[in-house]
Each structure stands twice: as structure tokens, then as C-alpha cells.
Amino acid sequence: MNLSGKSKIPKILQTDQSQLLTDWISEQITAGIRKDLIKEIELREECREFLDLFSASVQQGNFTDIKSTEWRSVREMLGSISRSRSQKGFTPTETATFVFSLKQPLFSRLRLELAQDSESLLEEIWSVTTLLDKLGLWTTESYQKAREEVILRQQEELMELSTPVVKLWEGILALPIIGTLDSARTQVMMESLLQKIVETGSEVAIIDITGVPTVDTLTAQHLLKTVTAARLMGADCILSGIRPQIAQTIVYLGVDLADVITKASLCDAFALALKRTGATISRAQTRT
């Protein structure tokens, strides 16, 4: 619907913006805006800026297609508000209320303008309702996307933290793995290990799976890929943490680890790594 020629909404937004702003903020406070998460002065500034952009878009007469170029600035602002509020701790409902709470102030101004024309009043209210519903849904979708981006980033950070590459000795690295292995985590793990091999010029990399609860065929394949990648970078790999039950599982699955050096513990693997690098360990003699 294009109401640019007869709608009272563009006029109301231009001439009554100050009163609309006051009523809109009051409506949000009544709805229970989280004052612990946003200051009233910040809320007022957001509302004022939104009304300016909203009014400019409405003047174009396009009340239906919020994805058009006329509504780009409004969409961008709502996207920014959604991201900001998701980070501050607002819920999706609280975030969408920013848009939906504008309905009542607009309805009130329309009733004053069209008190003698009930048919036009219904048309205008329907137009405003449809428009703000679409913008509210856009706000909710933007909030969800922002949350998904945060969750994805946190997952990536957790994967990096859960696969630390530690320098045990000159030329010796250790990669302790805790938890299950999937393709995404294996990729992060290999990248971290290979980068560290390049940075340190290490000759031996110990991959410790003491913290891996179970080993299936897929997990074994991921481990073999990591070993192969490290070898291509010039580092020998030692697989440690092979507990009896994991050894039995590997044999049962028929996984071929014949070319991989394995040790029962990280301690044994470290001792072997020291020998491979030419280092020796001796006990200090106790003074009598």
C-alpha cells in the first residue's frame, strides 16, 4: 500500500515528533525497560535518531517494503541496536519492544487527527501496525543473528583455548587434547600445531590424548591427519595417553597406527622426545 498522497502519518512524524518522542520513551519505561542495562539519556538519543530516520523513510510513501532502499538507514540502525542490546544482556522480547512500543503513541496521534473519519483511522492504524510489525520482526532477526555470531566466535575461542600447544623443551612441543574431536576442532588443532612448529623449529611434537574419553574411527582418523601434517612440516609425532581401554578400542576398530610412535603416558613420551633431540637427563647427586 502506498499512502503517500493521503496518509497523515508523514505529517504527524514531522509536526508532533517532540510529543511522540516523550510518549514513546514513557511507553518503554512503563513496559519495564531495563534501566540497569541502558541509561535514559542513551535511550532518548536512540529514540530520537530512530524517529528522524523513520520519518525520512515514511516521507517516501513506501509503507510495505522495508527491504527497499528507502528503509536502508532504518534497517542499519535497528541492526546496530540489536547487536548492542544482545551484548548488554537484553532479551529478544525486550529488544523488539523498542519498535513495538512506538505503536501506542502513533495510534494516539492518529486518533486526534482522524477523530471524525473512522474509516481512514482504521486504514492508518492498520498501515502503522503492519509497518512496525515488520520492523519489529527485522529487529528480532537481527538480534538472533548477532547472538549466533557471538556464540560462533565463543565456540572458536573455546576450541583454540582447548587445544593449546605447549613448548616443553627446546625442540619439543606438546599438544594436550581434552574432550572429543570433531572436524572443526581438528582443523583448529592442526593449524595451531603447525604454526607452532614453524615458529619454534621443533623436531618432535607430542600429542597427548589422556583427556580424550573415547576413541572411535573418526577420532582416530583426525589424529592420523594431525600426525601426517606435522610430519610434512618436518616434526616427528609421538602419541601419548594410550590407556588400556583405548588401546583395545583401536585394535577392535582395526585402526592402523603402526607408523605412529605411541606411549602410555606423557612422561614416557617426553623422555623419548628428549632422547630423539639428543638431550639427556641425569639425577643430581645428593650431598652427604
Which residue range(s) make up the domain with 65?
9-154
Q: What is the pLDDT of residue 217?
A: 82
- Under DSSP, the state recorded for 2 is B
| CATH number of the domain enclosing 206 | 3.30.750.24
**What are the pLDDT digits (tens) for 131-179?**
999 999 999 999 999 888 888 877 766 665 567 888 999 999 999 988 8
| CATH number of the domain enclosing 133 | 1.10.490
Assess if residue 37 is contained within a domain.
Answer: yes
Assess if residue 283 is contained within a domain.
Answer: no
The strand ranges marked E within the chain are: 166-169, 172-178, 204-211, 236-240, 261-263
Q: What is the pLDDT of residue 286?
A: 62
Assess if residue 248 is contained within a domain.
Answer: yes
Single pTM value for the model: 0.59
Domain count, the chain: 2
Q: Are 208 and 238 in contact (CB under 8 A)?
A: no
Q: Are 28 and 81 in contact (CB under 8 A)?
A: no
Domain termination residue (choose one: 124, 154, 184):
154
**What are the pLDDT digits (tens) for 79-111?**
999 999 988 889 999 999 999 999 999 999 999
Q: Are 131 and 31 part of one and the same domain?
A: yes
**What are the pLDDT digits (tens) for 233-253?**
999 999 999 888 888 888 888
**What are the pLDDT digits (tens) for 257-281?**
778 899 999 999 999 999 988 887 7
pLDDT exceeding 70 applies to what percent of the chain? 94
Dihedral sign for Cα 168, 257, 276, 272, please.
positive
Q: Is 281 helix (H, G, I), strand (E, B) or coil?
A: coil
CA distance 205 to 270: 10
Q: Are 204 and 171 in contact (CB under 8 A)?
A: yes
Q: All 3 cell numbers of residue 218?
A: 573418526
Q: What is the pLDDT of residue 25?
A: 94
**What are the pLDDT digits (tens) for 179-199?**
877 777 788 888 889 999 999
Q: What is the pLDDT of residue 85?
A: 92
Assess if residue 288 is contained within a domain.
Answer: no
Assess if residue 160 is contained within a domain.
Answer: no
Q: What is the pLDDT of residue 2?
A: 40
CA distance 167 to 47: 54
- Residue 240 bridge partners (DSSP): 208, 263
Q: Are 187 and 139 part of one and the same domain?
A: no
- Under DSSP, the state recorded for 285 is P
